[in-house]
């Protein structure tokens, strides 16, 4: 059974997609052990509690330094003996010590087809604003391993989504979530849990 920790900053729609996929059997041999947010008001924490999953808030603002927060985050994650860490809209930089400890065991969902519209400053609606201002006809989402860079780790899965005339950043964001993110993130977790994608050491 693959033990998963999910790190999230906001509403947790991707977290809900993971829960739904576990319930429906689309994710096999995996369970979410803990959900951690940097935001005490994140609805994702409510989603976790509703499923009987431990929900924790660890905010950098609660610590005297970023180093102290990074240490606390790493110790908290370590305490759950996790096999996989999923970043589902987590807007905090992952400590390098954690990336080293969990090399190729941290995955992220990004709302574009990497290498387009990714890297520093590209998150949330900003990604879709950039796609629309560039005039692309196809966008999508990417699941990738996390390394020391921003959105630079090895790509696991991608799914394309059509950009339609009259799209706003919000309508495009919703379509990318529904047609790509909520499909490929659970799929990647299922593939990892069942040996179709190997976790590196």
Active site residue 110: yes
The residue among 88, 96, 103 whose CA lies nearest residue 43 is: 88
Residues 6+ apart with CB under 8 A from 172: 128, 131, 132, 139, 163
Residue with tokens 């429906």: 24
As annotated, the binding site includes: 12-14, 66, 108
As annotated, the binding site for (6R)-10-formyltetrahydrofolate includes: 66, 108
| Beta-bridge partners for 31 | 3
Centroid of chain to Cα 162? 22
Which of 50, 110, 128, 144 is catalytic? The answer is 110
Residue with tokens 């809900």: 16
DSSP string, 115-177: TTT-STT--THHHHHHHHHHT-SEEEEEEEE--SSSS-SPEEEEEEEE--TT--HHHHHHHHI
Catalytic center residues: 110
């Amino acid at each position: 059974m693959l033990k998963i920790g999910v790190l999230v900053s906001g509403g947790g729609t991707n977290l809900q997609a993971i829960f739904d996929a576990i319930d429906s059997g689309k994710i096999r041999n995996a369970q979410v052990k803990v959900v951690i947010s940097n935001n005490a008001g994140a609805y994702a924490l409510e989603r976790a509690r509703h499923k009987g999953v431990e929900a924790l808030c660890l905010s950098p603002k609660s610590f005297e330094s970023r180093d102290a927060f990074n240490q606390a985050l790493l110790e908290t994650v370590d305490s759950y003996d996790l096999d996989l860490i999923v970043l589902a809209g987590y807007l905090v930089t992952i400590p390098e010590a954690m990336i080293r400890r969990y090399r190729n065991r941290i995955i992220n969902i990004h709302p574009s087809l990497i290498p387009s519209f990714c890297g520093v400053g590209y998150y949330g609606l900003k990604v879709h604003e950039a796609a629309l201002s560039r005039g692309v006809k196809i966008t999508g989402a990417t699941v990738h391993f996390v390394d020391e860079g921003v959105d630079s780790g090895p790509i696991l899965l991608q799914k394309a989504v059509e950009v339609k005339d009259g799209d706003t950043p919000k309508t495009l964001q919703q379509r990318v979530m529904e047609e790509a993110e909520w499909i490929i993130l659970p799929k990647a977790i299922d593939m990892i849990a069942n040996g179709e994608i190997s976790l590196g050491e």
